[in-house]
Structure 1
Amino acid sequence: MGVMIGDNKGQWQLVSEHSALQMLTSATPLVTERREKFSWGTGDMEMVQLFFQNIFIVYGDMHLRQQHFRMLNFDMPDTVELHFSLQGGGTVYNRLTGDTFQFRANEHNITYVTELEGDATYNCEVPHTFFEVHFATPYFIELAKDLNSAMEHFLENVSKRKDGSIAVENRTATIPMLQCIRDIMNCNYKGGLKLLYLQSKCMELLSLQADAFAQVETRSVLRSAGDKERIIYARDYLLSNLSTPPTIDELSVISGTNSFKLKRGFKELFNTTVFGYLNNARLDNAREQLLSGIPIKNVADELGFSSVQHFSSAFRKKFGCPPGMLKKHL
């Protein structure tokens, strides 16, 4: 997996590259540990990586000198991530799927991301400290099946290779979760005992998260006809501004609600996130334009895709064929 960081001038720098997939699927019975430091024009990162069969742990600190930057992950292994933000905060908007990921101190979520080209915004005043456990997807599905209804719904999407999180809103990390994370970071065992200890702690952390999301409030946030009308108005506004969509906060103000109710209400009414809905609408619009004879590059530019390549990737994922082959598949 590789990670590239870009600035607002379109300059990209490779900051990390390693074969996580090879490590995850390796038959070696023990733990491989790697400590790395990276520097690029607008920031520095220091992290620890622990690999063993079917599980990849990574944690560290990111210090930024610029609030906004672009990020591109490539050759991503097929994994489900237990994500914990321990300090700092920010957001990443995935241009390829329309998903927005929030990172706030002492919060957690479980995510599945197959591809990422993101617009990132982070707080530069404090370091961003993170902790992640990545499970090879087939292994995670076996571990997590039949846990609870929230997990079942998430696994259903994972099985379809549909990017997203187990819940729209992050949950607050509990004391047992934070203690489990500290235990992993401070593990001093060697050899086979270290492997067994880390495996057991990863299972414990997964169990704690699964229990937390089983308790997520299921009551509707749309408690009046007015609440529903505001979500529908927000949807209509998005459809009218496909090429220059507002942020979540801007759309909340425009539709007369708050960001929490907007995101939860969108999920209730349309069974997708705000930007997931936007991304689908953009691709449907692109399909109609292509069928009318508009060139691929013009369509990609008009709808705000960063490049023809990334437009083609998103289009193929939704419709099962590249834009140039659309008419032949009808």
Structure 2
Amino acid sequence: MGLCLSDEQGKWTEIGAIINFSDPLLSTVAEHKESYNLPFFDAELIQLSLPDIFIVYGDMRLKKRQIRFRSTNEPDFVELHFSLVGGGIMKNHINGHVHQFDALQHNIIYSPEFDGTGQYSIDKKHQFFEVHFSKNYFLGLVADSGDLLSRFCEKVDQHHFSDISETNLKMTFPIHQCIREIMSCNLSGKLKVLYLQSKCIELLSLQAQAFEQSANNKSRSVLKSAYERDCIQYAETYLTTHRQKPPTLTELAKIAGINEFKLKNGFKEVFGNTVFGYLNDVRLSEAREQLLSGTTIKAISDDLGYASVQHFSTAFRKKYGLSPGKVKLN
């Protein structure tokens, strides 16, 4: 990440320097875990370096509302940014641009330099995940990939500060899943390099697809106000929170304060899936994680609200192509 943070006395502390970011001969992933306990800032970071890709994620907790920071000798890269928990406001004094992220939002950012401030809630956890592609590698990956990406790439190529969209998007389930798979990767050597490369490109593809779809849907969206979009977000939160005993579509519409037509169509517009298709993905992803942690198949089936073990096993096989028993054995 390559940042310097300043305390109230103007003393700068460097954190998260990028290592081997663009070494084409790197055959393994360089991994670094770092903890910081400063008078104004606590953080735990994990950094993964592979050819032309740098991944950094972690938790941070601020002890004062605003901090000053700047970039330091970092390569020229394009950043995929994901705010997982908490949010904040970052103002770049170089160009006056302001980035504001709430929890579970994402964007694609090109910021050649940063010197500015960040504002965050005090003593609350902020969790983030970022993938950085070297500029030339990124431009090669997304060449001729759609109108929105083409316009963004023109600005990147001209070294102009830019976001792919002025509006952040809500993270979809496939984006969540891809991030979890990157964070939980336990491969080693060249296999880990290949796996992380493919997953980072998949994550970029999911983001690009979401922003292209959002741009195309703006003119014909069924959601005509910020209130209706908030209703869809609330419906998703309520649905996943009550996934063991989910409401019917009619009940969910009443709970969210929106009619069924807008719930069905608006949910698919925002999350790229039907209400219960999305719920099925969430439950099966959680089931897979529980299987890998050693939980019994019957306990998972009961916990996630399936009518029977057979019903759960059928759904799981359809999603992953393997029975729950085979996943558990592996």
Band of TM-score, shorter chain: 0.5 to 0.7
8 Å contact kept, 2:52–2:134: yes
Secondary structure of 1:216's match? helix
CA contact (8 A) 2:31 2:49 kept: yes
Please give the residue correspondences for 1:182-193 in structure 2 after superposition, counting only pairs within 5 Å. 182-193=180-191
Aligned to 2:40: 42
Whether the 8 Å contact between 1:13 and 1:40 is mirrored in structure 2 is: no
Alignment of 1:149-228 (within 5 A): 149-217=147-215, 218-219=218-219
| 2:4 aligned partner, one-letter code | M
1:18 aligned onto 2:14: no
Aligned twin of 1:145? 143
1:4 maps to 2:4: yes
Matching residue of 2:87: 89
SS of 1:200's partner is helix
Contact kept? 2:152, 2:164, Cα under 8 Å: yes
- Contact 1:15/1:40, CA 8 A, preserved across alignment: no
> What count of residue pairs does the alignment treat as equivalent?
218
Of all paired residues, the percent bearing the same amino acid is 41
Matched letter for residue 6 of structure 1: S
Uncovered stretches (5+) of structure 1, i.e. residues with no partner: 221-330
Moved over 6 A (4+): none
User: Residue type matched to 1:83 in 2?
Assistant: H
Contact 2:3 2:17 in 1 (8 A): no
**What is the TM-score of this pair, normalised by structure 2?**
0.63
Q: Is the partner of 2:71 in helix, strand or coil? A: strand
The alpha-carbon deviation at position 167 of structure 1 amounts to: 0.3
> What is the CA distance between 1:24 and its match in structure 2?
2.2
CA contact (8 A) 1:15 1:38 kept: no
Give the Cα–Cα distance (whole angstroms) in 2 for the partners of residues 163 and 16 of structure 1: 23
Report if aligned partners of 1:184, 1:201 keep a CA contact under 8 Å in 2: yes
User: What amino acid does structure 2 have at the position aligned with 1:89?
Assistant: G
Q: Which residue of 2 aligns with 1:298?
A: none
**How many angstroms apart in 1 are the aligned matches of 2:123 and 2:18?**
32
Q: How many angstroms apart in 1 are the aligned matches of 2:123 and 2:35? A: 20
**Contact 1:99/1:164 (CA < 8 Å) preserved in 2?**
no
C-alpha distance in 2, partners of 1:58/1:19?
9
**Which residue does 1:115 correspond to in 2?**
113
Question: Per-residue displacement from partner, 1:27-83 (whole Å, max 9, x unpaired)?
Answer: 212211111111221111101011010100100001111111111112121000110
Deviation at 1:16, TM superposition (A): 1.2
Q: Alpha-carbon deviations, 1:283-302, whole Å to 9, x = none?
A: xxxxxxxxxxxxxxxxxxxx
Separation (CA, whole Å) in 2 of partners of 1:210 and 1:166: 9
Shift of 1:12: 2.6
Partner of 2:99: 101
The alpha carbon displacement at 1:13 in A equals: 2.6
Opposite residue 13 of structure 1, the aligned amino acid is: W
Alpha-carbon distance in 2 for matches of 1:152, 1:196: 27
TM-score (norm 1): 0.63
Amino acid at match of 1:197: Y
Q: Can you list the C-alpha shifts for 1:156-186, whole angstroms capped at 9, x where unaligned?
A: 0000000121000100000000000000000
